[in-house]
Structure 1
């Protein structure tokens, strides 16, 4: 699947990076003062709580989540930023991509980096491309299969968009820090 470049904000910044910086609390001076970055942060803030709730729900999410995600989509989206989910029904691509990143983040052993959704024709199914980081030692086949199932379920059941395929590229790994051992191999005593 060819990954299409996402158009940057009017100030030249990538909205996904601004969202990541906001979530991590690492906004730079430009991102804190720029009105375009501020608008992107506001979109992230509106999506953060509903998407986190959606990620915590079982694999059969209730239909009400679609209404919450659709309501959180930013007004004034350009046509290429919309997914057609039915007659006269549209969903903002950035909102859907953020929701699916949160779904993948709920899989133990994976952290979503980027998500791109490509729709195959009007109101047609979508292909989802994800890049992730994996925890060292995790069974990649098992966790990526679980992530695929969750994305397909969330796409069809929650977002209202049938998912024709999910491509997951592991681009990085991380290792969990180990706690230092105390006497006789037990945990380190609290100070």
Structure 2
């Protein structure tokens, strides 16, 4: 099994070759400090990996549902939105791609997880870009006592991402809290 292709130790030995002979040391490797240090690290890596394989963490509740929700959202491209361009021509992006950017912006606010994001075109801005309405459903961390501040942070980040990362103007942003989650979920 190759660990890293083409990584040469300071002594000139290849790290892949050292990994392949991890259980049998030749004369050079037995005395070389570079090979010895690398070998110790590789043995620790192999041991840690074996421990992880032997005792896998249980699957967090709801993980499969969250993954499938994201897969279904990605599979539906949705309508295309026009983006502003500095030169004549046309650039389009799918509503689903915009939704991914906006969900990521919401997740970065902390104490929330974006769920569904619906983007709907409602007009065209003077720069040729789209004007959209967004409905974003969220799960809030259990114990979040600063709910209003958290939602204000989400609103700020989503609005900024729509303008700066995508080039769209938000006419309306509805934030719907539909669930709570515990740390570690």
TM-score (norm 1): 0.51
Q: Which residue of 1 aligns with 2:79?
A: 81
2:81–2:130 contact (8 Å) kept in structure 1: no
Aligned counterparts of 1:110 and 1:127: Cα–Cα separation in 2: 21
| Number of matched pairs | 112
Aligned counterparts of 1:18 and 1:134: Cα–Cα separation in 2: 17
Alignment of 1:10-159 (within 5 A): 20-21=67-68, 81-86=79-84, 88-122=90-124, 123-138=129-144, 139-159=146-166
Aligned counterparts of 2:96 and 2:65: Cα–Cα separation in 1: 13
Deviations 1:41-100 (A, max 9, x none): 9x68xxxxxxxxxxxxxxxxxxxxxxxxxxxxx9xx6xx611111351211111110111
TM-superposed CA distance for 1:166, in Å, is 1.1
- Structure with max Cα Rg: 2
Cα 1:137–1:18 change in 2 (3 A) is closer
Q: What value does the CA root-mean-square deviation take over the aligned residues? A: 2.9
Partner-residue secondary structure (3-state), 1:121: strand
TM-superposed CA distance for 1:137, in Å, is 2.3
Runs of 4+ with >4 A deviation = none
Aligned counterparts of 1:22 and 1:167: Cα–Cα separation in 2: 20
Unmatched 5+ residue regions in structure 1? 1-16, 24-36, 45-73, 178-191
Deviations 1:150-189 (A, max 9, x none): 0110001110111122110000012236xxxxxxxxxxxx
2:123–2:130 contact (8 Å) kept in structure 1: yes
Cα 1:130–1:83 change in 2 (3 A) is same
Unmatched 5+ residue regions in structure 2? 1-63
Aligned counterparts of 1:19 and 1:96: Cα–Cα separation in 2: 19
Aligned counterparts of 2:139 and 2:107: Cα–Cα separation in 1: 10
TM-superposed CA distance for 1:136, in Å, is 1.7
